[in-house]
Structure 1
Amino acid sequence: MSIVIAGATGQLGRLVVKELLNRGVPAAHIVAAGRSAGQLAELAGHGVHTASVDYNDPASVESALAEGDTLLLISGNDIQSRAAQHENVIDAAARAKVARILYTSVLAADTTPVILAPDHVKAEAYIRASGLPYTLLRNGWYTENYADALLAARETGTLLGSAGKGRVASATRADYAAAIAAVLTTAGHDNSTYELSGDYAWTYEELASAFSAVLGRTVSYRPVSAAEHVSALEAAGLDPATAGFLAALDGNIREDALALTTGDLARLAGRPTTPLVDGLRPLAG
Protein backbone atom coordinates (compact mmCIF):
# COMPACT_ATOMS: atom_id res chain seq x y z
CA MET A 1 0.00 0.00 0.00
CA SER A 2 1.32 3.42 -1.01
CA ILE A 3 0.80 7.08 -0.28
CA VAL A 4 -0.21 8.64 -3.58
CA ILE A 5 0.22 12.40 -3.97
CA ALA A 6 -2.03 13.67 -6.78
CA GLY A 7 -0.65 17.06 -7.75
CA ALA A 8 2.87 16.18 -6.63
CA THR A 9 4.47 18.32 -9.33
CA GLY A 10 3.01 21.54 -7.92
CA GLN A 11 4.72 23.70 -5.33
CA LEU A 12 2.83 22.24 -2.37
CA GLY A 13 2.94 18.67 -3.67
CA ARG A 14 6.72 18.64 -4.03
CA LEU A 15 7.09 19.84 -0.45
CA VAL A 16 4.73 17.13 0.80
CA VAL A 17 6.81 14.45 -0.91
CA LYS A 18 10.00 15.79 0.63
CA GLU A 19 8.35 16.07 4.04
CA LEU A 20 7.25 12.43 3.87
CA LEU A 21 10.80 11.38 3.05
CA ASN A 22 12.13 13.50 5.92
CA ARG A 23 9.69 11.72 8.23
CA GLY A 24 11.16 8.38 7.27
CA VAL A 25 8.51 7.11 4.87
CA PRO A 26 10.32 4.70 2.51
CA ALA A 27 10.60 6.16 -0.98
CA ALA A 28 9.21 2.93 -2.39
CA HIS A 29 5.95 3.60 -0.53
CA ILE A 30 5.38 7.02 -2.15
CA VAL A 31 3.83 7.64 -5.56
CA ALA A 32 4.29 11.16 -6.88
CA ALA A 33 1.59 11.75 -9.49
CA GLY A 34 1.31 14.81 -11.71
CA ARG A 35 1.48 16.30 -15.18
CA SER A 36 4.93 17.91 -15.36
CA ALA A 37 7.38 15.43 -16.83
CA GLY A 38 10.31 17.53 -15.66
CA GLN A 39 9.12 17.69 -12.08
CA LEU A 40 8.28 13.98 -12.08
CA ALA A 41 11.83 13.23 -13.18
CA GLU A 42 13.19 15.39 -10.36
CA LEU A 43 11.01 13.60 -7.82
CA ALA A 44 12.06 10.22 -9.20
CA GLY A 45 15.59 11.25 -8.35
CA HIS A 46 14.58 10.99 -4.69
CA GLY A 47 13.69 7.34 -5.26
CA VAL A 48 9.91 7.66 -5.18
CA HIS A 49 7.64 6.07 -7.74
CA THR A 50 6.07 8.47 -10.22
CA ALA A 51 2.94 8.43 -12.36
CA SER A 52 1.82 10.73 -15.16
CA VAL A 53 -1.65 11.86 -14.14
CA ASP A 54 -4.09 14.37 -15.61
CA TYR A 55 -7.19 15.29 -13.61
CA ASN A 56 -9.08 15.51 -16.92
CA ASP A 57 -8.29 11.84 -17.58
CA PRO A 58 -9.85 9.56 -14.92
CA ALA A 59 -8.12 6.49 -16.36
CA SER A 60 -4.70 8.05 -15.77
CA VAL A 61 -5.64 8.68 -12.14
CA GLU A 62 -6.97 5.18 -11.58
CA SER A 63 -3.84 3.65 -13.10
CA ALA A 64 -1.78 5.35 -10.37
CA LEU A 65 -3.90 3.88 -7.57
CA ALA A 66 -4.21 0.47 -5.95
CA GLU A 67 -6.62 -0.92 -3.40
CA GLY A 68 -5.67 0.16 0.11
CA ASP A 69 -3.64 3.19 -0.94
CA THR A 70 -3.90 6.55 0.80
CA LEU A 71 -4.60 9.35 -1.68
CA LEU A 72 -3.83 13.03 -1.20
CA LEU A 73 -5.83 15.05 -3.73
CA ILE A 74 -4.27 18.48 -4.01
CA SER A 75 -6.93 20.71 -5.50
CA GLY A 76 -6.44 21.80 -9.09
CA ASN A 77 -5.72 25.37 -10.18
CA ASP A 78 -7.81 25.38 -13.37
CA ILE A 79 -10.67 27.50 -12.08
CA GLN A 80 -12.82 26.83 -15.13
CA SER A 81 -12.57 23.03 -14.98
CA ARG A 82 -11.50 21.95 -11.54
CA ALA A 83 -14.94 21.07 -10.14
CA ALA A 84 -15.26 18.35 -12.77
CA GLN A 85 -11.60 17.43 -12.41
CA HIS A 86 -11.98 16.84 -8.69
CA GLU A 87 -14.96 14.58 -9.31
CA ASN A 88 -12.89 12.60 -11.83
CA VAL A 89 -10.20 11.95 -9.23
CA ILE A 90 -12.67 11.09 -6.47
CA ASP A 91 -14.54 8.66 -8.74
CA ALA A 92 -11.24 7.02 -9.69
CA ALA A 93 -10.30 6.70 -6.02
CA ALA A 94 -13.62 5.05 -5.22
CA ARG A 95 -13.24 2.57 -8.09
CA ALA A 96 -9.71 1.75 -6.95
CA LYS A 97 -10.97 1.23 -3.37
CA VAL A 98 -8.37 3.42 -1.73
CA ALA A 99 -8.23 3.20 2.06
CA ARG A 100 -8.72 6.94 2.55
CA ILE A 101 -8.62 10.24 0.72
CA LEU A 102 -7.24 13.59 1.87
CA TYR A 103 -8.30 16.79 0.09
CA THR A 104 -6.82 20.29 0.24
CA SER A 105 -9.81 22.59 0.55
CA VAL A 106 -10.12 26.24 1.62
CA LEU A 107 -10.33 27.74 5.09
CA ALA A 108 -13.86 27.58 6.57
CA ALA A 109 -15.12 26.33 3.21
CA ASP A 110 -18.76 25.97 4.18
CA THR A 111 -19.15 29.47 5.63
CA THR A 112 -16.52 31.66 3.96
CA PRO A 113 -17.38 34.34 1.38
CA VAL A 114 -14.06 33.71 -0.41
CA ILE A 115 -14.71 33.54 -4.14
CA LEU A 116 -12.62 30.37 -4.42
CA ALA A 117 -14.84 28.43 -2.01
CA PRO A 118 -17.74 27.03 -4.14
CA ASP A 119 -15.58 24.50 -6.02
CA HIS A 120 -14.14 23.28 -2.73
CA VAL A 121 -17.58 22.95 -1.15
CA LYS A 122 -18.64 20.78 -4.11
CA ALA A 123 -15.54 18.61 -3.79
CA GLU A 124 -16.03 18.15 -0.06
CA ALA A 125 -19.66 17.07 -0.58
CA TYR A 126 -18.63 14.69 -3.39
CA ILE A 127 -15.99 13.11 -1.16
CA ARG A 128 -18.48 12.58 1.65
CA ALA A 129 -20.94 11.01 -0.80
CA SER A 130 -18.23 8.65 -2.12
CA GLY A 131 -18.29 6.64 1.11
CA LEU A 132 -14.48 6.74 1.35
CA PRO A 133 -12.88 7.58 4.70
CA TYR A 134 -11.69 11.16 4.29
CA THR A 135 -9.77 14.03 5.83
CA LEU A 136 -10.51 17.59 4.74
CA LEU A 137 -7.50 19.87 4.98
CA ARG A 138 -8.92 23.37 4.73
CA ASN A 139 -5.87 25.41 3.83
CA GLY A 140 -5.72 29.12 4.54
CA TRP A 141 -3.58 31.64 2.72
CA TYR A 142 0.02 31.03 1.64
CA THR A 143 2.58 33.67 2.59
CA GLU A 144 4.14 32.99 -0.82
CA ASN A 145 1.07 34.53 -2.44
CA TYR A 146 2.69 37.91 -1.76
CA ALA A 147 5.84 37.26 -3.78
CA ASP A 148 4.82 39.55 -6.65
CA ALA A 149 3.67 42.29 -4.25
CA LEU A 150 7.00 42.07 -2.44
CA LEU A 151 9.00 42.50 -5.65
CA ALA A 152 6.78 45.39 -6.75
CA ALA A 153 7.28 47.06 -3.37
CA ARG A 154 11.03 46.82 -3.84
CA GLU A 155 10.68 49.13 -6.85
CA THR A 156 7.88 51.42 -5.67
CA GLY A 157 8.08 51.50 -1.88
CA THR A 158 4.33 50.93 -1.85
CA LEU A 159 1.99 48.06 -1.05
CA LEU A 160 -1.27 48.88 -2.79
CA GLY A 161 -4.41 47.00 -1.81
CA SER A 162 -8.10 47.19 -1.05
CA ALA A 163 -8.04 44.91 2.00
CA GLY A 164 -8.67 47.76 4.41
CA LYS A 165 -7.97 46.69 7.99
CA GLY A 166 -8.74 43.03 7.32
CA ARG A 167 -6.43 40.38 8.70
CA VAL A 168 -4.75 37.35 7.12
CA ALA A 169 -3.54 34.31 9.07
CA SER A 170 -1.04 33.17 6.46
CA ALA A 171 1.55 30.41 6.70
CA THR A 172 4.18 29.06 4.34
CA ARG A 173 3.65 26.13 2.02
CA ALA A 174 6.28 24.29 4.07
CA ASP A 175 4.08 24.73 7.15
CA TYR A 176 1.11 23.23 5.33
CA ALA A 177 3.23 20.41 3.89
CA ALA A 178 4.42 19.46 7.38
CA ALA A 179 0.84 19.24 8.66
CA ILE A 180 -0.34 17.27 5.62
CA ALA A 181 2.53 14.81 5.95
CA ALA A 182 1.64 14.32 9.61
CA VAL A 183 -1.94 13.43 8.70
CA LEU A 184 -0.74 11.10 5.94
CA THR A 185 1.52 9.18 8.31
CA THR A 186 -0.55 8.95 11.48
CA ALA A 187 -3.87 7.41 12.45
CA GLY A 188 -6.96 9.01 13.93
CA HIS A 189 -7.87 11.43 11.15
CA ASP A 190 -10.69 9.57 9.40
CA ASN A 191 -13.73 11.71 8.60
CA SER A 192 -12.09 14.73 10.19
CA THR A 193 -11.90 18.35 9.06
CA TYR A 194 -8.98 20.62 9.95
CA GLU A 195 -8.96 24.40 9.60
CA LEU A 196 -5.34 25.17 8.75
CA SER A 197 -3.93 28.68 9.09
CA GLY A 198 -1.07 30.63 10.60
CA ASP A 199 -0.74 31.29 14.31
CA TYR A 200 -1.15 35.06 13.89
CA ALA A 201 -3.48 37.10 11.68
CA TRP A 202 -1.74 40.24 10.40
CA THR A 203 -3.00 43.42 8.69
CA TYR A 204 -1.72 44.95 5.46
CA GLU A 205 -0.05 47.64 7.57
CA GLU A 206 1.91 44.83 9.20
CA LEU A 207 2.55 43.26 5.80
CA ALA A 208 4.06 46.53 4.61
CA SER A 209 6.22 46.64 7.73
CA ALA A 210 7.37 43.08 7.04
CA PHE A 211 8.18 44.07 3.45
CA SER A 212 10.28 46.94 4.86
CA ALA A 213 12.21 44.56 7.10
CA VAL A 214 12.87 42.10 4.30
CA LEU A 215 13.76 44.65 1.64
CA GLY A 216 15.75 47.04 3.81
CA ARG A 217 13.71 50.02 2.63
CA THR A 218 10.55 51.73 3.79
CA VAL A 219 7.38 50.29 2.32
CA SER A 220 4.05 51.97 2.98
CA TYR A 221 0.58 50.49 2.66
CA ARG A 222 -1.62 52.51 0.32
CA PRO A 223 -5.24 51.52 0.91
CA VAL A 224 -7.57 52.10 -2.04
CA SER A 225 -11.15 51.31 -2.94
CA ALA A 226 -12.00 48.14 -4.85
CA ALA A 227 -12.61 50.15 -8.03
CA GLU A 228 -9.31 51.99 -7.64
CA HIS A 229 -7.58 48.67 -7.04
CA VAL A 230 -8.97 47.20 -10.26
CA SER A 231 -7.90 50.28 -12.22
CA ALA A 232 -4.38 50.15 -10.78
CA LEU A 233 -4.01 46.46 -11.58
CA GLU A 234 -5.21 46.99 -15.13
CA ALA A 235 -2.81 49.92 -15.51
CA ALA A 236 -0.04 47.54 -14.41
CA GLY A 237 -0.90 45.26 -17.32
CA LEU A 238 -3.36 42.74 -15.89
CA ASP A 239 -6.43 41.78 -17.89
CA PRO A 240 -9.81 42.93 -16.47
CA ALA A 241 -10.83 39.44 -15.31
CA THR A 242 -7.61 38.88 -13.35
CA ALA A 243 -7.68 42.39 -11.92
CA GLY A 244 -11.26 41.91 -10.78
CA PHE A 245 -10.42 38.54 -9.26
CA LEU A 246 -7.51 39.91 -7.24
CA ALA A 247 -9.52 42.88 -6.03
CA ALA A 248 -12.31 40.51 -4.99
CA LEU A 249 -9.82 38.53 -2.93
CA ASP A 250 -8.77 41.71 -1.16
CA GLY A 251 -12.47 42.31 -0.54
CA ASN A 252 -12.68 38.90 1.13
CA ILE A 253 -9.70 39.83 3.28
CA ARG A 254 -11.41 43.11 4.16
CA GLU A 255 -14.23 40.95 5.55
CA ASP A 256 -11.71 38.92 7.61
CA ALA A 257 -12.46 35.78 5.59
CA LEU A 258 -8.81 34.69 5.94
CA ALA A 259 -8.31 35.76 9.56
CA LEU A 260 -9.39 32.53 11.27
CA THR A 261 -6.78 31.06 13.64
CA THR A 262 -7.48 27.66 15.18
CA GLY A 263 -4.04 26.26 16.01
CA ASP A 264 -4.74 23.16 13.90
CA LEU A 265 -1.83 23.83 11.54
CA ALA A 266 0.80 24.25 14.25
CA ARG A 267 -0.56 21.31 16.23
CA LEU A 268 -0.42 18.94 13.26
CA ALA A 269 2.94 20.24 12.04
CA GLY A 270 4.37 19.86 15.54
CA ARG A 271 5.79 23.38 15.59
CA PRO A 272 4.70 27.02 15.43
CA THR A 273 3.91 28.34 11.97
CA THR A 274 6.53 30.45 10.22
CA PRO A 275 6.41 34.15 11.20
CA LEU A 276 5.49 36.50 8.36
CA VAL A 277 8.93 38.12 8.00
CA ASP A 278 10.68 34.74 7.95
CA GLY A 279 8.25 33.43 5.34
CA LEU A 280 8.84 36.46 3.11
CA ARG A 281 12.65 36.48 3.22
CA PRO A 282 13.18 33.64 0.68
CA LEU A 283 10.89 35.46 -1.75
CA ALA A 284 13.09 38.54 -1.96
CA GLY A 285 15.62 36.77 -4.19
Structure 2
Amino acid sequence: MLRKLQKELDQLNKKQEKTQSSINNLFFSVEEIYLRQFRINHPILPNPNLIIRVRPEIINFIFAFLDYSSFLQFRLVSQNTNNQILYLLSLKLNKIQQQQNIKQLELNEIIENHPELGEQTESLLLQYQLSLDDLKKIRRQDICELSCIRVPPPIIETVLNLLKILLTQNNVEQQDNWHQYLRVLNDCQFLNQLLNFDILSITDDKLKLLQQITTMEERFIYSSSLFAYYIFKYIRTVVMLRQEPQYKIIFQIGLMRKDVAKLQRSVDKLQKILG
Protein backbone atom coordinates (compact mmCIF):
# COMPACT_ATOMS: atom_id res chain seq x y z
CA MET A 1 0.00 0.00 0.00
CA LEU A 2 2.78 2.39 0.93
CA ARG A 3 4.66 1.57 -2.26
CA LYS A 4 1.60 2.37 -4.32
CA LEU A 5 1.16 5.71 -2.57
CA GLN A 6 4.84 6.49 -3.05
CA LYS A 7 4.58 5.71 -6.76
CA GLU A 8 1.55 7.96 -7.18
CA LEU A 9 3.34 10.71 -5.28
CA ASP A 10 6.35 10.44 -7.60
CA GLN A 11 4.09 10.68 -10.62
CA LEU A 12 2.45 13.80 -9.21
CA ASN A 13 5.86 15.36 -8.61
CA LYS A 14 6.92 14.65 -12.18
CA LYS A 15 3.72 16.17 -13.54
CA GLN A 16 4.25 19.22 -11.37
CA GLU A 17 7.84 19.62 -12.62
CA LYS A 18 6.70 19.27 -16.21
CA THR A 19 3.96 21.85 -15.70
CA GLN A 20 6.41 24.24 -14.06
CA SER A 21 8.85 23.79 -16.94
CA SER A 22 6.12 24.58 -19.47
CA ILE A 23 5.18 27.71 -17.52
CA ASN A 24 8.83 28.83 -17.46
CA ASN A 25 9.22 28.27 -21.19
CA LEU A 26 6.06 30.21 -21.85
CA PHE A 27 7.34 33.05 -19.68
CA PHE A 28 10.67 33.14 -21.54
CA SER A 29 8.87 33.10 -24.89
CA VAL A 30 6.63 35.99 -23.89
CA GLU A 31 9.63 37.90 -22.54
CA GLU A 32 11.60 37.33 -25.76
CA ILE A 33 8.67 38.58 -27.85
CA TYR A 34 8.42 41.64 -25.65
CA LEU A 35 12.15 42.39 -25.99
CA ARG A 36 12.05 42.01 -29.75
CA GLN A 37 9.06 44.30 -29.99
CA PHE A 38 10.79 46.82 -27.76
CA ARG A 39 13.92 46.81 -29.96
CA ILE A 40 11.78 47.39 -33.04
CA ASN A 41 9.92 50.29 -31.47
CA HIS A 42 13.03 51.76 -29.82
CA PRO A 43 15.97 51.19 -32.17
CA ILE A 44 19.43 52.07 -30.96
CA LEU A 45 20.65 55.13 -32.79
CA PRO A 46 23.99 54.60 -34.55
CA ASN A 47 27.01 56.66 -33.70
CA PRO A 48 27.53 59.77 -35.81
CA ASN A 49 29.24 59.05 -39.12
CA LEU A 50 32.71 60.37 -38.40
CA ILE A 51 34.02 59.49 -41.85
CA ILE A 52 32.24 62.48 -43.42
CA ARG A 53 34.38 64.77 -41.27
CA VAL A 54 37.62 63.40 -42.72
CA ARG A 55 39.16 65.17 -45.69
CA PRO A 56 38.92 63.20 -48.99
CA GLU A 57 42.69 63.12 -49.50
CA ILE A 58 43.13 61.47 -46.08
CA ILE A 59 40.47 58.89 -46.91
CA ASN A 60 42.14 58.23 -50.24
CA PHE A 61 45.45 57.67 -48.48
CA ILE A 62 43.83 55.16 -46.11
CA PHE A 63 41.98 53.34 -48.89
CA ALA A 64 45.22 52.94 -50.85
CA PHE A 65 46.02 50.04 -48.49
CA LEU A 66 42.67 48.28 -48.99
CA ASP A 67 41.50 45.91 -51.69
CA TYR A 68 38.45 46.76 -53.78
CA SER A 69 36.02 44.65 -51.76
CA SER A 70 37.00 46.34 -48.48
CA PHE A 71 37.05 49.70 -50.20
CA LEU A 72 33.51 49.32 -51.52
CA GLN A 73 32.08 48.34 -48.14
CA PHE A 74 32.42 51.96 -47.05
CA ARG A 75 29.77 52.87 -49.64
CA LEU A 76 27.19 51.43 -47.25
CA VAL A 77 27.99 53.91 -44.48
CA SER A 78 25.95 56.76 -45.91
CA GLN A 79 24.93 58.40 -49.16
CA ASN A 80 27.56 61.07 -48.65
CA THR A 81 30.25 58.45 -48.13
CA ASN A 82 29.04 56.58 -51.19
CA ASN A 83 29.45 59.69 -53.33
CA GLN A 84 32.86 60.26 -51.83
CA ILE A 85 33.96 56.70 -52.59
CA LEU A 86 32.76 56.95 -56.19
CA TYR A 87 34.67 60.20 -56.60
CA LEU A 88 37.85 58.64 -55.22
CA LEU A 89 37.39 55.62 -57.47
CA SER A 90 37.19 57.89 -60.51
CA LEU A 91 40.46 59.54 -59.44
CA LYS A 92 42.01 56.12 -58.98
CA LEU A 93 40.81 55.08 -62.43
CA ASN A 94 42.40 58.12 -64.06
CA LYS A 95 45.67 57.48 -62.25
CA ILE A 96 45.79 53.83 -63.33
CA GLN A 97 44.98 54.77 -66.93
CA GLN A 98 47.85 57.26 -66.92
CA GLN A 99 50.20 54.60 -65.56
CA GLN A 100 49.02 52.17 -68.22
CA ASN A 101 49.56 54.70 -71.02
CA ILE A 102 53.07 55.52 -69.80
CA LYS A 103 53.96 51.83 -69.48
CA GLN A 104 52.57 51.10 -72.95
CA LEU A 105 54.57 53.97 -74.50
CA GLU A 106 57.75 52.69 -72.85
CA LEU A 107 57.01 49.19 -74.14
CA ASN A 108 56.40 50.43 -77.69
CA GLU A 109 59.64 52.41 -77.60
CA ILE A 110 61.66 49.36 -76.56
CA ILE A 111 60.14 47.26 -79.35
CA GLU A 112 60.80 49.99 -81.94
CA ASN A 113 64.42 50.29 -80.81
CA HIS A 114 64.98 46.55 -81.32
CA PRO A 115 63.68 45.65 -84.78
CA GLU A 116 65.75 42.45 -84.71
CA LEU A 117 63.17 40.96 -82.35
CA GLY A 118 60.72 39.28 -84.69
CA GLU A 119 58.12 36.53 -84.73
CA GLN A 120 60.38 34.10 -82.90
CA THR A 121 60.49 36.47 -79.94
CA GLU A 122 56.70 36.74 -79.92
CA SER A 123 56.44 32.96 -80.05
CA LEU A 124 58.82 32.57 -77.10
CA LEU A 125 56.93 35.12 -75.03
CA LEU A 126 53.65 33.37 -75.81
CA GLN A 127 55.12 30.01 -74.78
CA TYR A 128 56.42 31.57 -71.59
CA GLN A 129 52.98 32.96 -70.71
CA LEU A 130 51.32 29.62 -71.46
CA SER A 131 53.83 27.84 -69.23
CA LEU A 132 52.98 30.25 -66.40
CA ASP A 133 49.29 29.53 -66.92
CA ASP A 134 50.02 25.79 -66.70
CA LEU A 135 51.87 26.27 -63.42
CA LYS A 136 48.76 27.87 -61.95
CA LYS A 137 46.85 24.65 -62.70
CA ILE A 138 49.04 22.64 -60.32
CA ARG A 139 47.15 21.50 -57.23
CA ARG A 140 48.47 20.49 -53.86
CA GLN A 141 46.97 17.07 -54.52
CA ASP A 142 49.28 16.62 -57.53
CA ILE A 143 52.32 17.22 -55.34
CA CYS A 144 51.05 14.80 -52.68
CA GLU A 145 50.52 12.08 -55.29
CA LEU A 146 54.07 12.54 -56.52
CA SER A 147 55.39 12.38 -52.96
CA CYS A 148 53.84 8.93 -52.56
CA ILE A 149 56.05 7.47 -55.29
CA ARG A 150 58.94 5.55 -53.77
CA VAL A 151 60.77 4.71 -56.98
CA PRO A 152 60.04 7.46 -59.53
CA PRO A 153 60.54 7.02 -63.27
CA PRO A 154 63.99 8.29 -64.30
CA ILE A 155 62.51 10.95 -66.57
CA ILE A 156 60.49 12.49 -63.70
CA GLU A 157 63.55 12.40 -61.48
CA THR A 158 65.52 14.23 -64.17
CA VAL A 159 62.87 16.96 -64.44
CA LEU A 160 62.85 17.50 -60.68
CA ASN A 161 66.63 17.53 -60.62
CA LEU A 162 66.57 20.38 -63.15
CA LEU A 163 63.93 22.14 -61.07
CA LYS A 164 66.20 21.96 -58.03
CA ILE A 165 69.11 23.32 -60.07
CA LEU A 166 66.94 26.19 -61.28
CA LEU A 167 65.85 27.20 -57.79
CA THR A 168 69.19 26.64 -56.07
CA GLN A 169 71.58 29.53 -55.60
CA ASN A 170 74.62 27.29 -55.79
CA ASN A 171 75.51 26.46 -59.39
CA VAL A 172 77.23 23.18 -58.54
CA GLU A 173 75.56 20.23 -60.26
CA GLN A 174 73.25 18.42 -57.86
CA GLN A 175 73.32 14.72 -57.07
CA ASP A 176 70.15 12.82 -57.90
CA ASN A 177 68.31 12.51 -54.62
CA TRP A 178 64.57 11.89 -54.59
CA HIS A 179 64.11 13.07 -51.01
CA GLN A 180 65.83 16.36 -51.76
CA TYR A 181 63.49 16.94 -54.69
CA LEU A 182 60.46 16.24 -52.52
CA ARG A 183 61.76 18.72 -49.97
CA VAL A 184 61.74 21.37 -52.69
CA LEU A 185 58.18 20.47 -53.71
CA ASN A 186 56.91 20.50 -50.14
CA ASP A 187 58.02 24.09 -49.76
CA CYS A 188 54.72 25.98 -49.99
CA GLN A 189 56.52 28.88 -51.71
CA PHE A 190 58.07 26.95 -54.56
CA LEU A 191 55.24 27.70 -57.02
CA ASN A 192 55.45 31.40 -56.22
CA GLN A 193 59.19 31.19 -56.79
CA LEU A 194 58.56 29.85 -60.29
CA LEU A 195 55.80 32.33 -61.10
CA ASN A 196 58.04 35.23 -60.06
CA PHE A 197 61.35 33.75 -61.15
CA ASP A 198 63.92 36.19 -62.50
CA ILE A 199 65.38 34.73 -65.69
CA LEU A 200 68.22 37.24 -65.50
CA SER A 201 69.49 35.43 -62.40
CA ILE A 202 70.43 32.35 -64.47
CA THR A 203 74.20 32.37 -64.88
CA ASP A 204 76.03 30.81 -67.80
CA ASP A 205 77.13 27.89 -65.62
CA LYS A 206 73.60 27.18 -64.48
CA LEU A 207 72.35 27.48 -68.05
CA LYS A 208 74.73 24.72 -69.14
CA LEU A 209 73.30 22.43 -66.47
CA LEU A 210 69.74 23.18 -67.58
CA GLN A 211 70.24 22.86 -71.34
CA GLN A 212 69.68 19.11 -71.35
CA ILE A 213 65.96 19.77 -70.94
CA THR A 214 65.73 20.88 -74.58
CA THR A 215 66.64 17.35 -75.70
CA MET A 216 64.11 15.51 -73.52
CA GLU A 217 61.07 13.79 -75.06
CA GLU A 218 57.97 15.78 -74.21
CA ARG A 219 55.48 12.96 -74.81
CA PHE A 220 57.22 10.61 -72.36
CA ILE A 221 57.03 13.20 -69.60
CA TYR A 222 53.37 13.92 -70.34
CA SER A 223 52.47 10.24 -70.10
CA SER A 224 54.38 9.86 -66.82
CA SER A 225 53.09 12.82 -64.81
CA LEU A 226 51.04 15.90 -65.64
CA PHE A 227 52.71 17.77 -62.79
CA ALA A 228 56.19 16.96 -64.11
CA TYR A 229 55.01 17.92 -67.60
CA TYR A 230 54.01 21.43 -66.46
CA ILE A 231 57.35 21.85 -64.69
CA PHE A 232 59.18 20.58 -67.77
CA LYS A 233 57.40 23.04 -70.09
CA TYR A 234 58.20 25.94 -67.80
CA ILE A 235 61.91 25.12 -67.41
CA ARG A 236 62.29 24.45 -71.13
CA THR A 237 60.72 27.82 -72.00
CA VAL A 238 62.90 29.62 -69.46
CA VAL A 239 66.02 27.97 -70.90
CA MET A 240 65.00 28.87 -74.46
CA LEU A 241 64.49 32.49 -73.43
CA ARG A 242 67.81 32.59 -71.60
CA GLN A 243 69.61 31.19 -74.65
CA GLU A 244 68.52 34.12 -76.80
CA PRO A 245 71.26 36.76 -77.37
CA GLN A 246 68.79 39.51 -76.46
CA TYR A 247 67.32 37.62 -73.50
CA LYS A 248 67.48 40.65 -71.20
CA ILE A 249 65.39 42.77 -73.56
CA ILE A 250 62.97 39.91 -74.25
CA PHE A 251 62.42 39.28 -70.55
CA GLN A 252 61.95 43.00 -69.94
CA ILE A 253 59.30 43.12 -72.68
CA GLY A 254 57.53 40.15 -71.12
CA LEU A 255 57.46 41.79 -67.69
CA MET A 256 56.20 45.08 -69.09
CA ARG A 257 53.41 43.35 -70.98
CA LYS A 258 52.47 41.57 -67.79
CA ASP A 259 52.30 44.92 -65.98
CA VAL A 260 50.19 46.47 -68.75
CA ALA A 261 47.76 43.54 -68.64
CA LYS A 262 47.48 43.82 -64.86
CA LEU A 263 46.72 47.54 -65.11
CA GLN A 264 44.12 46.83 -67.79
CA ARG A 265 42.34 44.37 -65.48
CA SER A 266 42.21 47.08 -62.81
CA VAL A 267 40.82 49.57 -65.33
CA ASP A 268 38.12 47.13 -66.43
CA LYS A 269 37.12 46.43 -62.82
CA LEU A 270 36.88 50.12 -61.91
CA GLN A 271 34.94 50.98 -65.06
CA LYS A 272 32.48 48.22 -64.25
CA ILE A 273 32.01 49.59 -60.72
CA LEU A 274 31.57 53.16 -61.89
CA GLY A 275 29.22 52.11 -64.66
Same fold (TM over 0.5): no
Quickly name the TM-score band, shorter chain normalised: under 0.3
**TM-score, normalization: structure 2?**
0.21
Q: Which has the higher contact order (CA 8 A, sep 6+)?
A: 2
User: Computing the radius of gyration over CA atoms, which structure comes out larger, 1 or 2?
Assistant: 2
- The structure carrying a bigger helix percent of its residues is 2
